[in-house]
């Protein structure tokens, strides 16, 4: 299959019109749910935000479950394992010890030191506490970083398929996301010439995410080195979202761009405890960046949110400094699930699916169904496909357009093996029109 034809970003970029929010939203919006018609003002940048499609998908699935339908959710990127006991105990200890007050706005020194030590172990780069800012999850880190970096009109190159939040946040802060598509046929590696050609005098940064959400693809060393050269040649910043770096398969090594010669000063690492330690609800993430940038991020955070939850910070100290066996156990379980779900999806007539190198997402190409009608429902795009699977297989997925890549859907396999087996067999039956 020719993925280049299936996934041309220039033609099928996620469109605000398609998603239902216009580029020039009205300044006053009516609350159609209430009896009274309200017209409270909403600012243009905020009115222009699309709701997170992954959260929306989960909401729809929950509503159907509330109606008694046995909907299987493959929509949310959240490990299904409990948070390890030693971390829970550390949180309880923090409460017993009344560690319940404001902390330094950029986080406690103990957690910054733990982040520096864990980062040194993982990528071999030495950081000081003054280069760390602890925030309310990696999403908040990204928000801080994009806001700190972006002046109106600044361009940030984002490799697509991308995590839904990047372009929305860049636009929120007046920046312009420039999408460069990567393709399954190229193992989701970027065409470096196209990236270099996309750099203009307004470009300030390149944003990467490896292992990637939604593809599960990992950038090769050559790709990372090539991107680092472009960043260096044009005096840019490289934003490296490394939230999935502990979840890698087939013994793959991890190369952070920050470890390349001269790149520590040009890289902002975004990371957190959510995925590796099954701590999505604790809301702890961090940036690692040069001291002056970190100071700016910390000032921003001190005015906007102050410190992240003190108890979660102490729990995260234990996550990073304590025993790491649960991280490896969860990783192995994700690898087992990947080894089941990808061949099972590939076995469905009409589906192609690349083997992810990390994270916990399958990103099958479903474009061969476009133009067909299944059970009276016309399937013209990935949004229709997601809606069809929800309606007729009671399986919730996220459509590819949300990630800037039409033709595909995303399934999170952060759920039990039993659910994966049942879900894939429902998908197979639904796509066969049964």
The smaller minimum CB distance to ligand PLP, of residues 139 and 426, is found at: 139
Compute the radius of gyration of the chain from its Cα atoms.
Answer: 22
The smaller minimum CB distance to ligand PLP, of residues 213 and 310, is found at: 213
- CA 161, 166, 168, 171 torsion-angle sign: negative
Question: What's the closest the beta carbon of residue 280 comes to ligand PLP, in angstroms?
Answer: 5
Q: Binding to ligand PLP by residue 243, rule CB under 6 A? A: yes
The smaller minimum CB distance to ligand PLP, of residues 180 and 431, is found at: 180
Q: Binding to ligand PLP by residue 280, rule CB under 6 A? A: yes
Q: Binding to ligand PLP by residue 272, rule CB under 6 A? A: yes
76-115 positions binding ligand PLP, by CB under 6 A: 77
Other C-beta atoms within 10 Å of 302: how many? 14
Q: Which of 161, 216, 285, 423 binds ligand PLP (CB under 6 A)?
A: 285
Q: Which of 139, 171, 337, 392 binds ligand PLP (CB under 6 A)?
A: 139
Other C-beta atoms within 10 Å of 121: how many? 10
Best CA proximity match to 307, nearest among 96, 95, 101: 101
Q: Which stretch binds ligand PLP (CB under 6 A): 103-111, 272-280, 336-344, 385-393?
A: 272-280
Q: Which of 241, 333, 365, 383 binds ligand PLP (CB under 6 A)?
A: 241
How many residues bind to ligand PLP according to rule CB under 6 A? 13
Tokens of 363: 């990103």
Tokens of 218: 């990992």
Q: Binding to ligand PLP by residue 242, rule CB under 6 A? A: no
Angle at 249 between CA 245 and CA 251, to 5 degrees: 95
Tell how many helices (H) and how many strands (E) occur in the chain: 16, 14
Q: Binding to ligand PLP by residue 274, rule CB under 6 A? A: yes
Q: Binding to ligand PLP by residue 209, rule CB under 6 A? A: yes
Q: Binding to ligand PLP by residue 138, rule CB under 6 A? A: yes
Strand partners, 365: 352, 408
1-20 positions binding ligand PLP, by CB under 6 A: none
The smaller minimum CB distance to ligand PLP, of residues 139 and 171, is found at: 139
The smaller minimum CB distance to ligand PLP, of residues 269 and 351, is found at: 269
Distance CA 191, CA 183 (A): 9
Q: Which stretch binds ligand PLP (CB under 6 A): 107-115, 117-125, 135-143, 423-431?
A: 135-143
Ramachandran angles phi, psi of 260, nearest 5°: -80, 150
Burial 91-107 (b: 16+ CB within 10 A, else e): beebeeeeeeeebebbb
Distance CA 369, CA 223 (A): 32
3-state helix, strand, coil in the chain (%, to 5): 45, 15, 40
List contacts with ligand PLP (CB under 6 A): 77, 137-139, 163, 209, 213, 241, 243, 272, 274, 280, 285
């Amino acid at each position: 299959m020719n993925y280049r034809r299936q996934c041309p970003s220039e033609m099928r970029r996620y469109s605000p019109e398609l998603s239902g929010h216009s580029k020039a939203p009205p300044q006053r919006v009516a609350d159609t749910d209430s009896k009274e018609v309200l017209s409270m003002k909403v600012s243009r940048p905020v009115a222009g935000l699309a709701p997170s499609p992954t959260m929306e998908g989960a909401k729809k699935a929950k509503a159907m479950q509330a109606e008694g339908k046995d909907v299987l959710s493959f929509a949310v990127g959240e490990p299904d394992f409990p948070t390890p006991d030693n971390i829970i105990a550390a949180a309880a200890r923090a409460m017993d010890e009344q560690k319940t007050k404001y902390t330094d706005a950029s986080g406690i020194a103990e957690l910054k030191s733990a982040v520096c030590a864990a980062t040194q172990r993982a990528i071999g780069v030495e950081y000081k506490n003054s280069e760390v800012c602890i925030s309310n999850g990696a999403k908040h880190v990204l928000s801080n970083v994009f806001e700190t970096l972006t002046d109106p009109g600044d361009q940030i190159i984002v490799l697509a398929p991308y995590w839904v939040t990047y372009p929305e946040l860049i636009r929120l802060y007046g920046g312009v996301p420039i999408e460069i598509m990567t393709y399954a046929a190229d193992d989701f590696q970027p065409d470096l010439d196209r990236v270099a050609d996309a750099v203009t005098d307004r470009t300030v940064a390149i944003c990467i995410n490896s292992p990637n959400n939604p593809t599960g693809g990992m950038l090769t060393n050559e790709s990372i080195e090539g991107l680092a050269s472009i960043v260096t040649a044009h005096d840019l910043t490289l934003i490296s979202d490394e939230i999935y770096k502990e979840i890698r398969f087939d013994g793959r090594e991890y190369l952070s761009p920050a470890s390349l010669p001269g790149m520590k000063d040009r890289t902002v690492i975004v990371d957190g405890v959510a995925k590796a330690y099954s701590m999505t609800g604790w809301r702890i993430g961090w940036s690692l960046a040069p001291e002056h940038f970190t100071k700016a991020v910390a000032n921003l955070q001190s005015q906007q949110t102050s410190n992240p939850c003190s108890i979660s910070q102490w729990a995260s100290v234990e996550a990073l400094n304590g025993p790491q066996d649960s991280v490896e156990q969860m990783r192995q379980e994700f690898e087992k699930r990947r080894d089941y779900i990808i061949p099972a999806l590939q076995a469905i007539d009409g589906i192609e699916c690349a083997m992810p190198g990390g994270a916990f997402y399958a990103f099958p190409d479903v474009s061969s169904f476009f133009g067909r009608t299944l059970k009276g429902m016309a399937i013209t795009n990935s949004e229709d496909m997601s809606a069809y699977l929800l309606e007729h297989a009671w399986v919730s997925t996220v459509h590819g357009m949300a990630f800037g890549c039409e033709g595909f859907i995303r399934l999170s396999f952060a759920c039990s093996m039993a659910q994966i087996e049942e879900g894939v067999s429902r998908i197979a039956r639904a796509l066969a029109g049964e």
